A and B are shown apart, each in its own frame.
Chain A
Amino acid sequence: MALLSKKDTSLLLDPLADNNPITIQVLGICSALAITAELKASIVMAISVLFVMGLGNVVIALMRDLIPSKIRIIVQLIVVASLVIIVDQVLKAFAYELSKTLSVFVGLIITNCIIMGRFEAFALGNGPYRSFLDGIGNAAGYGLILIIVGFFRELLGSGTLLGIPVLGDPIAKTGLYSIGYENNGFMLLSPMALIVVGIIIWVQRSRNRALIEEN
């Protein structure tokens, strides 16, 4: 007996590739640009969104028959805001330095289009179990892109990964730096995140032609 039915599996795995919230639906771009200069921040952001979205979807799905449709957006905001406050407080308690790096962007998870999008599109019309899978899947798809972008931006921009120098020391000129290599400062600027996301979209669509829209 399979743990997940076929539909459940696709709920969980589709957002990782062919229905990725960032590269296909082009949602949640703002945070993908803002916090991906370091891999660590990307990972923490991915985990935070995973928590908020998985739990938020469940809460909304449980309440879906009780929420009057006229005020559903407000209810959704309250749910997501409460969860974000939990994340924010946990970060401040256990990873204070990192929470300063992420600064306002943890708070801005509230306005992350992906979360509201999944509440509206999925959790309001499905049971808690499936909503949970959908939330986890979409958050993982979002986090995956964040981590890929963060990986390349930190590696090429600072020559480090998770803060550990991997290409040598740029000041003492060891490793790659001894042969004249230099960090690419452009990678640390937000426009480059947009370009990296663009390249991911490009690669994805040229591998799977079905994703290309007709115009």
Chain B
Amino acid sequence: MRDKRLTFKKRLHILKHRYRDKKMAPAFNAFHTFLYAPNETTHNGSHVRAADDLKRTMNTVIMALIPVLLFSMFNAGYQHYAAIDAANGISREVSLFENFLTWDNFWIGIVHVLPLVIVSYGVGLLIEFIFAVIKGHEVEEGYLVTGMLVPLIVPIDTPLWMLAVAVAFGVVIGKEVFGGTGMNILNPALTIRAFLFFAYPTWMSGDKVWVQGAVERAGGPDAISGETILGYLAQNNASEFNYSVSDMFFGFIPGSVGETSAFLILLGGLFLIFTKIASWRIMVSAVIGSLVMGLIFNGVVDAGWIGETSKFYGLMSFDFWKHLIVGGLAFGIVYMATDPVTGSQTNRGKWFYGFFIGFISVMIRVFNPAYPEGVFLAILLMNVFAPTIDHYVVRGNVNRRLKRFKNATVYPKTTEGEGAKLQVETV
């Protein structure tokens, strides 16, 4: 008879033992270690005990994402109602408690954002479990963060089946074929985003998809606009939007589900730096990179090299620092570029890696007016180059030390040539 006093933890232990060496074992182990620390110890050799295993790391990132998710749910509703007001000629000022943190707004978020999260996790984890059972190894935790990132970087009206197809593609082709978590060369969340963008461009770009309801109302008498700031700028219509800098910074603007609030992303980034999960070097260098590119473009405009009629004028004349608070750049820098698997591993390499992410992101924004958001492409590109950067950093280090050895005086004193040779060989 089952003892009622058994704790849930104990029951999981028993269940796990019963299914040991069975085909489904990885699935049970995954549930167990997700909730509790494993009750197994290694039997030989020395080992280090550390509290921050992969699951804890992943959970920390998710904790940093929760505020962004909650904000995005309110913002989904706010943008919806704001767009309807705008269509009816009513201008509205954002007020945090009066018209932002309201139940109506949150309800839109629950109905339209939560399903994205559920589909993303459901499909992704299902595939992870299937692969773990086929391969006979433990379920990998990598999808925990990816699953949360994916709904935050897609437009809110993305059809759920498209998301499911993209997640299946991203997890299988982006990660599992390379050998699973830790072996992938491309960030899986961005692979999913890239797949969606190239497969279903009408749902991923344009002026209809960024505000809930804009797609289904399009062409009707109650049509609403969902253009983003970058979209306006790309069409040289900078005067048509009236978002203030604080709107952009705090995130009361249309955009992908979770990318709008630079403020909360900044807080999340600080939290990740404080907990030493993400690399501050990548974040700082990416910010520098984007500012440098922005300054170059501003300089081009100031120098009068392009006129107001140029199709690049809108984005090129956009203040360089504002690039960081509109669009997905902030989100990409904090949560995507810092992925430890796909980013550079060496400290010096991280500076180059981050710098070029920022630099190329702003470049793509400006030079591709048809699609003013290039952060995901920039990060994917640098993902590919990260091993090359690391390779040259390591080579440079080796060469520098070799040179140092050659010039060093070697003790005990031998004949000069021999000593140097000896040292070089031991490197």
Interface residues of A (CB under 8 A from B): 180-182, 184-187, 189, 195, 198, 202
Cα distance, A195 to B199, chains bound together (Å): 14
Asked if A186 and B195 sit within 8 Å, CB to CB, the answer is yes
CA distance A185 to B201 in the complex (A): 8
B135 shortest CB reach to chain A, Å: 11
Interface residues, chain B, with chain A CB atoms under 8 Å away: 159, 161-162, 165, 173, 177, 195, 198-203
User: Closest residue of chain A to B201, judged by CB?
Assistant: A185
Q: Is the CB of B173 within 8 A of A185?
A: no
Q: Is the interface of B mostly helix, strand, loop or mixed?
A: helix
List residues of chain A with CB within 8 A of the CB of B173: 195, 198
Q: Are A180 and B199 in contact (CB under 8 A)?
A: no
Check A202 against B200 for contact (C-beta < 8 Å): no
How far apart sit A187 and B169, CA to CA, in the bound complex (Å)?
12
**Least Cβ–Cβ distance between B211 and chain A, in angstroms:** 19
Q: Which residues of A contact B200 (CB under 8 A)?
A: 182, 184-185
Q: Is the CB of A186 within 8 A of B161?
A: no
Bound-state CA distance A15–B202 (Å) is 41
For residue A199, which residue of chain B has the nearest CB?
B173
> How close is B59's CB to chain A, nearest CB, in angstroms?
32
Identify B198's interface contact among A180, A181, A186, CB under 8 A. Answer: A186
Task: Report which residue of B159, B162, B199, B200 has the largest number of chain A beta carbons within 10 angstroms of its beta carbon.
Answer: B199
Complex CA gap A181/B161 in Å reads: 8
Q: Considering the complex, give the chain A residue whose CB is closest to the CB of B194.
A: A186
Nearest-Cβ distance from residue B326 to partner chain A, whole angstroms: 27
- Can you give 14 contacting A-B residue pairs, CB < 8 Å? A180-B159, A180-B161, A181-B161, A182-B159, A182-B162, A184-B165, A184-B199, A184-B200, A185-B199, A186-B198, A189-B198, A198-B173, A198-B177, A202-B177
Chain B nearest Cβ from A37, distance in angstroms: 14
Q: How many A-B residue pairs have CB under 8 A?
A: 24
Main secondary structure of the interface of A (DSSP, over half): helix
Smallest Cβ-Cβ distance to B161: which chain A residue: A180
Residues of B within 8 A of A202 (CB): 177
Which residue of chain A has its CB nearest to the CB of B159?
A: A180
Question: CA separation between A79 and B79, bound complex, in Å?
Answer: 67
Q: How far is it, in angstroms, between the C-alpha of A51 and the C-alpha of B203 when the chains are bound?
A: 44
Which residues of chain B are near A198, meaning CB under 8 Å?
173, 177
What 5 A-B pairs have minimum CB-CB distances, sorted nearest first? Answer: A186-B199, A186-B198, A184-B199, A185-B199, A180-B159
The answer to whether B199 and A187 touch across the interface, beta carbons within 8 angstroms, is yes
Chain B residues with CB under 8 A of A187: 199
For A202, the closest partner residue in chain B by CB is B177
Hey, which chain B residues are within 8 Å of A182, CB to CB?
A: 159, 162, 200, 202-203
- The docked-state distance in angstroms from the alpha carbon of A140 to that of B199 is 31
A34, chain B: closest CB distance, angstroms? 18
Given A182-B202, A184-B165, A184-B199, list of 15 further CB < 8 A pairs?
Answer: A180-B159, A180-B161, A181-B161, A182-B162, A182-B200, A182-B203, A184-B200, A185-B198, A185-B200, A186-B195, A189-B198, A195-B173, A198-B173, A198-B177, A202-B177
Q: What CA separation (Å) do A184 and B165 show in the bound complex?
A: 10
Contacting residues, chain B, for A195 (C-beta < 8 A): 173
Nearest CB in chain A: distance from B133 CB, A: 15
A186-B200 Cα distance, complex, nearest whole Å: 8
Residues from chain A with a CB closer than 8 A to the CB of B195 are 186
B130 to chain A, nearest CB (A): 14
Taking the closest CB of chain A, its distance from the CB of B246, in whole angstroms, is 38
Please, how many angstroms separate the alpha-carbon atoms of A153 and B109 in the complex? 36
Which of chain A's residues have a CB closer than 8 A to the CB of B201?
185
From residue B215, how far is it (CB to closest CB) to chain A in Å?
A: 11
B177 (CB) vs chain A CBs: closest residue: A202
| CB-nearest residue of chain B to A191 | B198
Bound-complex Cα distance A189 to B198 (A): 9
